[in-house]
A and B are shown apart, each in its own frame.
Chain A
Amino acid sequence: MEKQKVIVKNSAGLHARPASLLVKLAGQFESDFHINMYGYKINGKSILGVLTLAAEQGAEMELELEGPDEKDAVKALVKLFDSGFNENNEEHG
């Protein structure tokens, strides 16, 4: 199992567009993907699960991956969080 703490960097938080990028990326990996936050645990491949977290800028969460490609998956997902979902200087929609 791979665990990694990340911080939401983009100003609008994990709203619809980043959430859809996140689940789309996660869906490319075979590993199970969960997100732990505020004592909740949600399926990271479920956009509705991600949206119910309502994670805002600065929120901290733990990515938890388990499966054959867990190492690659965690790397890719952390990179997406670090990039601020490619939208830090854009207006969100």
Chain B
Amino acid sequence: MGKEHSYDEVVLTGKSASPGIVLGEVWVYNPHSLLDSEMIKSKGTASEKKKLDDAMQKVLTDLHNMAHFTSRKSKDINALHIIETQKEFVRDPELYRKMVHLIEKEAFHAARAVQEAFQSFINLIEQNDNEFIKSRLVDLRDIRDRLIRYIQQNAMISSVQNNAIVVAKEFSPTDIVMLSRQNVQGIVVDSGGLTSHAAIIANSIGVPIMVDTKTASQLIRNGDTVIIDGANGKLIVRPDERKQQQYEELIAQQNKLLEEETSDELLPSTTKCGKEVKLRANIEFEEELHKIKKFNVAGIGLMRTESLFFSDGNSALEVSKQERFYESALKHSGDEPLTIRLFDVGGDKLLDEDESEANPFLGWRGIRILLAHRELLRSQLEAILKVSGRYPRRCRILVPMICTLEEIKSVRIELNNAISRLDSLGIAYDKSIELGIMVEVPSVAIQAEAYADLVDFFSIGTNDLTQYTLAVDRGNNLISQLYQQMHPSVWQLIRMTAEGGRKKGIQVSVCGELASNPFAALILVGLGICDLSMAPVFVPAVKKIIHKHDMQEIKDLTDRVLNATSMAEINLIVKQWKSVS
């Protein structure tokens, strides 16, 4: 098929978290496309076999990790059985023999060999009359797709052109991390909302992403020029010359502004009247650590640890693997403390679709999983304690999704047990290590004082606090207009948390998206919360705004916000504030 030319310009709408403009050449990411192509024969059978073996190892690790998070309660036993069966599919000797035969004798490349070998078994099973057995075909196909995905992921991602804009139907979190290492300029996805895990990761890594474009991956071809216009939520495909010129000018302006902003980073992180506000980084991946220096950020206020579960062949439970990760974060954050959040899986993060619950955000997630799978909790406490011994007074433990006092008591007991074990082994740890909780469920904000008696610090997670307060699933596009982090009720809960913490003398910080909104950051400071953590890229803008105002102005503004009773009033306050500042 010859390459087609001369399509007309198309403009799609989408959602973008950052207002920036990016222009570049498209590279379409489609892990299955190599299968459709004519290139069946591989170049080296040894390297193809290695690709297959690596992918099998990764899929087994995934299944192993998934089993850790699966509830052992009655009805979910089925989910565990399915995982066990899937492991046997991966380990099936006949299937493996067939795949290796295709690679070695027929010179198929690995993905094609997987496709063919699985198909031959699928055909056999489909001829079956037994419905129970046929119903497991879905699991077999799932394993096939996972294998192919891993095989192709490496091949596809390593062939991305520098500065490309990558377009796909969907991305997994690992796709995005791997892409960020390839210097891509931007990412465009058909589906998802701004709060989807892929979008959050892209934002935190600092790759502009446009989601919810619906048809982008079908309309756009490799090599097309596209423009992501974040501010206007537009994706311009194959722009005409005039438009391209227009946007190139806008990009030049944008770069100039960015330069000015970067020079502001040397501002002290204080209000106009000199009150210090710590602006810290939310970090999820090692590749983000260099940003602490780049954006002049005061260490890490929230270190997410779920990335330890991304397949690299090692179990996340390996204490030494965890230690390396935490240590590398400590090395990048000067003398500042490092707040490590315990594994926060469930909700929309990481777990497989097969284990879907009717209400995942009200279900199996966070500390609930950790308390049911104590081996996860114990390995993590041990790793953090061991690192704290080498970096005394710098590590803090943050517990996600607490919603009862009993949960934090149980964690405290586990922490004490872990300490006793290290004592008996003569291993050093930080004896004054702090234990804090995420305040992301209204029940905790309402009883803030009672919780403050049991912990050393609070960190308010405004994303979840908002969705639990307003009963809005943040991933649901039908009701996304109801998801308002600045809703008066959310402000009241934040106020209660800040007051509860202050009364009991414990530190309160915010690590949700709200902190990265300059106006909201002012109000948080007005509520006495002077420790804010956000994606590093937002720090310069927040710092600039805070430095422009003195405490009196901030307090007046805060009073107005706390007196507001509707979103309309809040919006009006923001609008007036913007017009004068």
Indicate if the CB atoms of A20 and B81 lie closer than 8 Å: yes
Q: How large is the interface on B (under 10, 10 to 19, 20 to 34, 35 or more residues)?
A: 20 to 34
Q: How far is the CA of A43 from the CA of B94 in the complex (A)?
A: 7
Identify 20 new A-B residue pairs, CB closer than 8 A, beyond the known A13-B132, A20-B85, A47-B88: A12-B132, A15-B133, A15-B136, A16-B132, A16-B136, A17-B84, A20-B84, A23-B88, A24-B88, A43-B94, A46-B95, A47-B85, A47-B92, A48-B92, A48-B124, A49-B92, A51-B125, A52-B124, A52-B125, A52-B128
Q: Give per-residue flags for A28-50: 1 if the beta carbon is below 8 A from chain B beta carbons, else 0.
A: 00000000000000010111110
| B132: chain A residues within 8 A (beta carbon) | 12-13, 15-16, 92
Report if B285 contacts A (CB, 8 A). Answer: no
Q: Which residue of chain A lies nearest to B137 when distances are taken between CB atoms in the complex?
A: A51
Indicate if the CB atoms of B78 and A52 lie closer than 8 Å: no
Report if A54 contacts B (CB, 8 A). Answer: yes
Q: Which residue of chain A lies nearest to B118 when distances are taken between CB atoms in the complex?
A: A48
Q: How far is the CA of A16 from the CA of B135 in the complex (A)?
A: 9
Q: Give per-residue flags for A49-69: 1 if the beta carbon is below 8 A from chain B beta carbons, else 0.
A: 101101010000000000000
Q: Chain B's nearest CB lies how many Å from the CB of A61?
A: 15
Indicate if the CB atoms of B85 and A16 lie closer than 8 Å: yes
Among B78, B81, B95, B129, the residue within 8 A (CB) of A48 is B95
| B140: chain A residues within 8 A (beta carbon) | 48
Indicate if the CB atoms of B92 and A54 lie closer than 8 Å: no
Tally of contact residues, A, Cβ under 8 A: 22
Q: How far is the CA of A46 from the CA of B120 in the complex (A)?
A: 14
| B95: chain A residues within 8 A (beta carbon) | 46, 48
Whether A56 touches B130, Cβ cut-off 8 Å, given contacts A43-B94, A48-B92, A48-B94, is yes
Q: How far is the CA of A93 from the CA of B85 in the complex (A)?
A: 12
| B130: chain A residues within 8 A (beta carbon) | 13, 15, 54, 56
For the complex of A and B, the 9 pairs showing the least CB-CB separation, nearest first, are A46-B94, A15-B132, A47-B88, A93-B78, A54-B130, A20-B85, A16-B136, A16-B85, A54-B128
| A47: chain B residues within 8 A (beta carbon) | 85, 88-89, 92
| B85: chain A residues within 8 A (beta carbon) | 16-17, 19-20, 47
Q: Chain B's nearest CB lies how many Å from the CB of A67?
A: 14
Whether A16 touches B81, Cβ cut-off 8 Å, given contacts A47-B88, A54-B133, is yes
The 21 listed contacts between A and B (C-beta, < 8 Å) are: A15-B130, A15-B132, A15-B136, A16-B82, A17-B85, A20-B81, A20-B84, A20-B85, A20-B87, A20-B88, A27-B91, A43-B94, A45-B93, A49-B92, A49-B94, A52-B125, A52-B128, A54-B133, A92-B132, A93-B77, A93-B78
Indicate if the CB atoms of B136 and A51 lie closer than 8 Å: yes
| B91: chain A residues within 8 A (beta carbon) | 27
Q: How far is the CA of A48 from the CA of B124 in the complex (A)?
A: 9
Report if B121 contacts A (CB, 8 A). Answer: yes
Q: How far is the CA of A27 from the CA of B87 in the complex (A)?
A: 13
| A46: chain B residues within 8 A (beta carbon) | 92-95
Q: Which residue of chain A lies nearest to B121 when distances are taken between CB atoms in the complex?
A: A48
| B89: chain A residues within 8 A (beta carbon) | 47-48
Q: How far is the CA of A48 from the CA of B92 in the complex (A)?
A: 7
Whether A16 touches B133, Cβ cut-off 8 Å, given contacts A47-B85, A52-B124, A52-B128, is yes
Whether A54 touches B129, Cβ cut-off 8 Å, given contacts A20-B85, A20-B88, is yes
Q: Chain A's nearest CB lies how many Å from the CB of B136?
A: 4
| B77: chain A residues within 8 A (beta carbon) | 93
Q: Which of B464-509 contact A (CB under 8 A)?
A: none
Q: Chain B's nearest CB lies how many Å from the CB of A56?
A: 7
Q: Chain B's nearest CB lies how many Å from the CB of A11?
A: 11
| B92: chain A residues within 8 A (beta carbon) | 23, 46-49
| B136: chain A residues within 8 A (beta carbon) | 15-16, 51
Q: Which residue of chain B lies nearest to A90 when distances are taken between CB atoms in the complex?
A: B77
| B94: chain A residues within 8 A (beta carbon) | 43, 46, 48-49
Q: Give per-residue flags for B235-265: 1 if the beta carbon is below 8 A from chain A beta carbons, else 0.
A: 0000000000000000000000000000000
Q: How far is the CA of A52 from the CA of B92 in the complex (A)?
A: 13
Q: How far is the CA of A93 from the CA of B125 in the complex (A)?
A: 18
| B82: chain A residues within 8 A (beta carbon) | 16
| B84: chain A residues within 8 A (beta carbon) | 17, 20, 24
Q: Which of B70-109 contact A (CB under 8 A)?
A: 77-78, 81-82, 84-85, 87-89, 91-95
Q: Which residue of chain B lies nearest to A23 when distances are taken between CB atoms in the complex?
A: B88
Q: Which residue of chain A lies nearest to B89 when distances are taken between CB atoms in the complex?
A: A47
Q: Which residue of chain A lies nearest to B136 when distances are taken between CB atoms in the complex?
A: A16
Q: Which residue of chain B lies nearest to A51 when distances are taken between CB atoms in the complex?
A: B133
Among B81, B93, B128, B133, the residue within 8 A (CB) of A93 is B81
Q: How far is the CA of A27 from the CA of B84 in the complex (A)?
A: 14
Q: How far is the CA of A17 from the CA of B136 in the complex (A)?
A: 10
Q: How far is the CA of A92 from the CA of B82 in the complex (A)?
A: 12
Q: How far is the CA of A84 from the CA of B159 in the complex (A)?
A: 52
| A56: chain B residues within 8 A (beta carbon) | 130
Q: Which of A13, A16, A23, A54: most chain B CB closer than 10 A?
A: A16
Q: Chain A's nearest CB lies how many Å from the CB of B399?
A: 34
